[in-house]
Structure formats: structure tokens, C-alpha cells
A = this chain, B = another copy of it.
């Protein structure tokens, strides 16, 4: 491609409201989250019918990423040397070119311009770039496999259980 690729300008369609106020890696299922659409450009028709889908795919912008930390080549995921050094496009970490997150969430409720979701791993105030219904035919087709390191990395990603030891008896 040319040495000077075009800059693409996007305008957020809404923002994430989440009980997760600071960036951290795991236990996303403990959070309450919704998306608030930009009321200057959308009305309550924009989400019409989404309640008939079990899931929606959220495309968001991880604005809290430190630009100096963005990886362009390869690194150990979460800097864990027990996991292989893989390319930035072979992992889903946040420190990536364009800082885009994509997550399939459960549609919980729609209230006007608010879309309540389960399983959105975005920090409070993140910008939303797009919302799409999850469509079965767009899922992975054919045999699926993945390396063991990513399954290990994901072990507590969603878990609503604290990874700390259970509270001690009195």
C-alpha cells in the first residue's frame, strides 16, 4: 500500500457507561454497563428491533491507552514470558494500533437511547464506534481451534468471582 495511508475520521455514536472506572484486565462480569447513544444525532428508532437479538457486537475506542505503549510488532501477552511472543494482531490486548475493541455482549434491555448490556469489557466513558446485532451466520465457520496460552489468559477474564482467596472465617 502507499506509504501515506489515508487518515480515517470517525465520530462516536455514543459512550460507554460502566461501573469499571479504571483500566484493569479481568473479572468483567462484575460490572454493570450500558451504552448511551449521542442524542444530537440519534433518536429511539436507532435501536429498534435489537431486543429480538440475544447478543450485540460492540465496536469501541479504548481512549485510555497510552500511545507510547502501543505495540506494532510482537510481545508476550500481558508481558507473561510463560506465553509465547506473538504478533500484535495475534492477541487482543488493548495496546494495539487504532485502539479498537470488539466484544459480543448480551442484550439486556433497551430504554430509548440507552442499551443495557452484559459482558461489555470497556471502561467507563469509552467511545462507541458501532453497534451491530450478533448474527449466527457471521460467527466462525468450520473447525475452530486456538492455542492453549489464550485459554489460560482468558481464565478469569469474565469471572465474577474474585481471584483473591475467599474471605477468611472470623
Interface band, chain A: 35 or more
Q: Is the CB of A53 within 8 A of B134?
A: no
**Chain B residue contacts of A5, Cβ below 8 A:** 11-12, 15, 38, 127
Please indicate which of the listed interface residues A13, A55, A106, A140 has the most CB atoms of chain B within 10 Å of its own CB.
A140
> In residues 104-158 of chain A, which contact B (Cβ within 8 Å)?
104, 106, 115, 119, 127, 129-147, 150-151, 154, 157-158
A20 at the interface (CB under 8 A from B): no
Assuming the contacts A1-B39, A10-B7, A141-B119, asked whether A146 and B73 have C-beta atoms less than 8 A apart, the reply is no
User: Please, how many angstroms separate the alpha-carbon atoms of A134 and B89 in the complex?
Assistant: 11
**Chain B residue contacts of A23, Cβ below 8 A:** none
Q: Is the CB of B54 within 8 A of A144?
A: yes
A65 at the interface (CB under 8 A from B): no
Set B47, B57, B143, B157: member contacting A54, Cβ < 8 A: B143
User: Please, how many angstroms separate the alpha-carbon atoms of A14 and B5 in the complex?
Assistant: 9
